[in-house]
């Protein structure tokens, strides 16, 4: 276990904010977590790899980080597997493991930054697949009394980038393990965007080639946080009513969209791009030049600069399209 006071978080948040936590604790097991719960006081923030958050300043509380590791096959049937993974495993290490073993279900989620615990909080998603499609169980510990609880998939209230852990139970539980349901005979999902185009005319498409295609698409579009601070998509894609969608489509017939439950989803990145923000900046906060949904730290940006850019973009999108967009990134 690591336990530090006045700990610098620069290397623990992909936006590259130079901030400090009053206390930082990294635990390696459920037993260690249980033992440290009585020592917690004040505000507690459970972090993963810090790839989806923006610190607004120093954190006057305790940051917890799980280093619970392990990938374990717990059940196998004729065509499915249940795999239990420690919350502190790097998400893409688990995806690589699944693909190497020929187990399908997570290959479209290749190269998403972050850790396994956060996949279940954030319901990470990309290229037509969401974590909720493969999560069977989530094991968690109540941070008020150390009691363990197992959440079935339906109990997690999953929706687009939402879960019970981000809403009703926000800050109340630490996720210790996630059990995923994978397929022995993978069902490939190739419908989203340009996956098929990137795969080209391959005779036999495998989960290995899908993983490679997704890695190539992401590398071409998304900035590497090691090179330029960012937290992936800064905004969520809004869902609007069919009437609203049709009225905008009259003026913008090329607008991309996806039919979803309850309305039509319009890519916020496209709207921000239409507002002329792609590749532009305000101070040291910028809009990525290949994907306008991603805000970047151009070097030494403060959180105020990022937030000012965020607010300016939201206003411009509202003024042009009459749609409110909201950050996906958690601001702390």
Asked whether the beta carbons of 26 and 1 are under 8 A apart, the reply is yes
Q: Does 169 bind ligand EPU (CB under 6 A)?
A: no
Which residue number has the CB closest to ligand EPU?
A: 232
The catalytic residue among 89, 107, 305, 328 is 328
Residue 233 appears among annotated catalytic residues: yes
The catalytic residue among 23, 233, 303, 305 is 233
Q: Does 248 bind ligand EPU (CB under 6 A)?
A: no
x-or-dash pattern for ligand EPU, window 256-295, by CB under 6 A? Answer: x----------x-xx--x----x------------xxx--
Nearer to ligand EPU, 177 or 265 (CB): 265
Of positions 36, 190, 199, 236, contacts ligand EPU by CB under 6 A? 236
Asked whether the beta carbons of 21 and 61 are under 8 A apart, the reply is yes
Q: Counting Cβ atoms within 10 Å, is residue 320 exposed (0-12), middle (13-18) or buried (19+)?
A: middle
DSSP 40-82: --S-EEEESSS-SEE--S-EEEEEEEE----EEEEEE-SSEEE
Q: What is the strand order of the sheet 263-265 is part of?
A: 239-240, 263-265, 258-260
**What's the closest the beta carbon of residue 328 comes to ligand EPU, in angstroms?**
5
**What's the closest the beta carbon of residue 122 comes to ligand EPU, in angstroms?**
8
What SS3 class is residue 252? coil
Residue 328 appears among annotated catalytic residues: yes
Place of tokens 């930082």: 24
Interface with ligand EPU by CB under 6 A: which range of 145-153, 167-175, 230-238, 300-308? 230-238
Residue 84 appears among annotated catalytic residues: no
Q: Does 316 bind ligand EPU (CB under 6 A)?
A: no
Asked whether the beta carbons of 214 and 126 are under 8 A apart, the reply is yes
Phi, psi of 320 (to 5 degrees): -85, -40
Q: Does 321 bind ligand EPU (CB under 6 A)?
A: no
Phi, psi of 321 (to 5 degrees): -115, -10
CA atoms of 87 and 74, how far apart (whole Å): 16
Chain contacts with ligand EPU (rule: CB under 6 A): 126-127, 192-193, 222, 232-233, 236-237, 256, 267, 269-270, 273, 278, 291-293, 328
Active site residues: 161, 233, 328
């Amino acid at each position: 276990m690591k336990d530090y006071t006045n700990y610098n978080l620069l290397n623990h948040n992909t936006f590259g904010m130079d901030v400090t936590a009053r206390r930082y604790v990294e635990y390696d097991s459920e037993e260690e977590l249980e033992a440290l719960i009585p020592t917690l006081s004040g505000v507690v923030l459970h972090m993963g790899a810090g790839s989806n958050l923006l610190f607004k300043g120093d954190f006057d509380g305790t940051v917890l980080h799980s280093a619970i590791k392990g990938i374990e096959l717990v059940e196998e049937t004729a065509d499915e597997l249940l795999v239990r993974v420690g919350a502190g495993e790097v998400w893409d290490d688990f995806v690589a493991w699944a693909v190497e073993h020929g187990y399908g279900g997570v290959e479209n989620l290749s190269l998403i930054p972050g850790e396994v615990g956060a996949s279940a909080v954030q319901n990470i998603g990309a290229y037509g697949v969401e974590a909720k499609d493969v999560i069977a169980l989530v094991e968690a510990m109540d941070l008020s009394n150390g009691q363990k609880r197992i959440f079935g998939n339906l109990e997690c209230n999953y929706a687009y980038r939402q879960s019970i852990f981000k809403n009703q139970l926000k800050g109340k539980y630490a996720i210790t393990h996630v059990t995923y349901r994978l397929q022995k005979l993978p069902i490939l999902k190739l419908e989203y965007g340009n996956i098929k185009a990137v795969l080209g005319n391959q005779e036999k498409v495998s989960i290995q080639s899908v993983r490679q295609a997704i890695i190539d698409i992401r590398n071409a579009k998304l900035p590497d946080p090691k090179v330029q601070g960012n937290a992936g998509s800064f905004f969520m894609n809004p869902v609007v009513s069919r009437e609203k969608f049709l009225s905008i489509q009259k003026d913008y017939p090329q607008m991309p969209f996806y039919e979803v439950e309850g309305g039509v989803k319009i890519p916020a990145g496209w709207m921000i791009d239409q507002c002329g923000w792609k590749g532009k900046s305000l101070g040291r906060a910028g809009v990525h030049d290949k994907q306008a949904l991603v805000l970047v730290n151009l070097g030494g940006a403060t959180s105020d600069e990022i937030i000012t850019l965020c607010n300016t973009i939201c206003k411009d999108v509202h003024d042009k399209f009459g749609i409110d967009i909201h950050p996906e990134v958690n601001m702390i």
